Chain A
């Protein structure tokens, strides 16, 4: 158990809908990262927050947004869902911002868009 929690574990929804994925980082970790894992794209970095502020952006679509709250939990919002958004979404956390950081991954949310 990494100490990172993600809810829900599974999500089934329809195209065009909007969903919110939630992540609680390990106690004491200030950085939260979101990743998308699919068979064709592999593990793609989406976005990073540190202590409530956006710090880095990866391959995140404009239909997706995220935020980190004062209690450090984070939410990833996916809107206007398409079939291709079906994937495993992981949240990870680390203590700080440094490049020499171990990231601790949550168990993931499996999203299926029908």
Chain B
């Protein structure tokens, strides 16, 4: 299985601090994506990083990918209370179609 596993399961920080979440997976991938889910709602796509990329930025988000370690990290800088949500990594394999395998997520709580 190439299911991503996020670490930590839960993270509690203060506004203004940075939040780092990690994701590990088991087999080779075509790309890795990060999604965000506010409580009980649909997932929102944040960023996609391809297997030949090492780092990608989008606003306050920074994603890294280390294919040799089969791991990725999501960094949210200068966090805000509105960043409180669950964050999931999802991997797309090299075979088959565009199905994604999701990890169990990291629950982030940002306190004012």
A-B contact pairs, 28 of them (CB 8 A): A2-B42, A33-B99, A35-B102, A42-B105, A43-B102, A43-B105, A44-B102, A45-B100, A45-B102, A48-B98, A48-B99, A50-B97, A56-B99, A58-B99, A88-B40, A94-B98, A97-B97, A99-B31, A99-B92, A100-B31, A100-B50, A100-B98, A102-B45, A104-B45, A105-B42, A107-B42, A108-B42, A110-B40
Can you name 17 extra interface pairs (CB under 8 A) apart from A42-B103, A108-B41?
A33-B99, A35-B102, A42-B105, A44-B102, A45-B101, A48-B98, A48-B99, A56-B96, A99-B94, A99-B97, A100-B31, A100-B48, A100-B92, A102-B45, A102-B48, A105-B43, A108-B42
Encoded as 1 (CB less than 8 Å from any B CB) or 0, chain A from 85 to 109 comes to: 0001010101011111111111110
B residues 16-74 with Cβ under 8 Å of A? 30-31, 33, 35, 40-45, 48, 50
Give the CA-CA distance A50 to B97 in the complex, in Å.
10
Structural contact, A103 and B45, CB atoms closer than 8 A: yes
Encoded as 1 (CB less than 8 Å from any B CB) or 0, chain A from 28 to 47 comes to: 00010101000000111100
What is the interface of chain A mostly: helix, strand, loop, or mixed? strand
Cβ-closest chain B residue relative to A2? B42
Picked from B35, B42, B97, B101, the residue with its CB within 8 Å of the CB of A48 is B97
Q: Which residues of A contact B98 (CB under 8 A)?
A: 31, 48, 94, 96-101, 103
Give the CA-CA distance A45 to B93 in the complex, in Å.
14
Is the CB of B104 closer than 8 A to any CB of chain A? Answer: yes
Structural contact, B93 and A99, CB atoms closer than 8 A: yes
Cβ-closest chain B residue relative to A110? B40
Cβ distance A2 to chain B, nearest Cβ, rounded Å: 6
Cβ-closest chain B residue relative to A97? B97
Structural contact, A108 and B105, CB atoms closer than 8 A: no
In order of increasing CB-CB distance, the 6 nearest A-B pairs are A105-B42, A43-B102, A101-B98, A105-B43, A42-B104, A99-B30
Cβ-closest chain A residue relative to B47? A102
